[in-house]
């Protein structure tokens, strides 16, 4: 399964789709459905060194730099967190490290009014995912 996030499904698509829904219950369903579109991560990659610290649920992240673009294989043991990962991947996947660093993720989350609709632990976990990806991008800034 190819990863549609960052290519066919972008942060602008996510914003536009979420604006369609009136209730946060419907938005949560959409976010969970987004997570179902993430390509599966092989169990062999679900190792402790790939776990994102600071997340309430288990979140695994495996970066790959190819042709100057960072691609991520991600997974979580929680449906809503897979959806949140998908939203982050829409913004960050298949992007140059510099583009990841320069992308205003806080503005993205603000446009969809996300953070205040998450529990504090989910919000902290989301920030931990973002921080981990931004750190990986900074480490790869001179690799392209």
pLDDT reported for residue 3: 83
Per the structure, the complete domain to which residue 98 belongs is given by 11-139
Q: What is the CATH number of the domain that holds 28?
A: 3.90.1010.10
pLDDT reported for residue 103: 97
pLDDT reported for residue 61: 96
Q: Considering the domain boundaries, does residue 21 fall inside one? A: yes
Q: Among residues 84, 18, 27, which one has the least CA distance to residue 92?
A: 84
pLDDT reported for residue 64: 94
Q: Considering the domain boundaries, does residue 144 fall inside one? A: no
Q: Considering the domain boundaries, does residue 3 fall inside one? A: no
pLDDT reported for residue 143: 57
Which single residue is written with the structure tokens 């972008």? 10
List the structure tokens of 9: 């499904």
Q: What are phi and psi of 35, to 5 degrees?
A: -60, -30
- Per-block mean pLDDT, blocks of 10 residues, the chain (144 long): 83 94 93 94 95 91 94 95 96 96 95 89 92 96 66
Query: Of 34, 55, 87, 91, which one is the catalytic site residue?
Result: 55
Q: Is 76 one of the catalytic residues?
A: no
Q: Considering the domain boundaries, does residue 2 fall inside one? A: no
């Amino acid at each position: 399964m190819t990863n549609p996030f960052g290519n066919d499904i972008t942060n602008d698509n996510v914003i536009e789709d979420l604006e369609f829904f009136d209730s946060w219950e419907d938005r949560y369903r959409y976010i969970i459905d987004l997570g179902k579109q993430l390509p599966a991560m092989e169990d062999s990659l679900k190792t402790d060194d790939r776990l994102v610290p600071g997340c309430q649920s288990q979140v695994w992240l495996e970066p790959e730099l190819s042709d100057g673009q960072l691609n991520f294989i991600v997974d979580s043991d929680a449906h809503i967190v897979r959806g949140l990962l998908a939203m982050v991947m829409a913004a960050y996947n298949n992007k140059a490290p510099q583009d990841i660093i320069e992308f205003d993720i806080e503005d993205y989350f603000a446009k969809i009014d996300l953070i205040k609709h998450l529990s504090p632990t989910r919000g902290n976990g989301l920030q931990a995912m973002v921080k981990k990806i931004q750190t990986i991008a900074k480490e790869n800034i001179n690799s392209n």
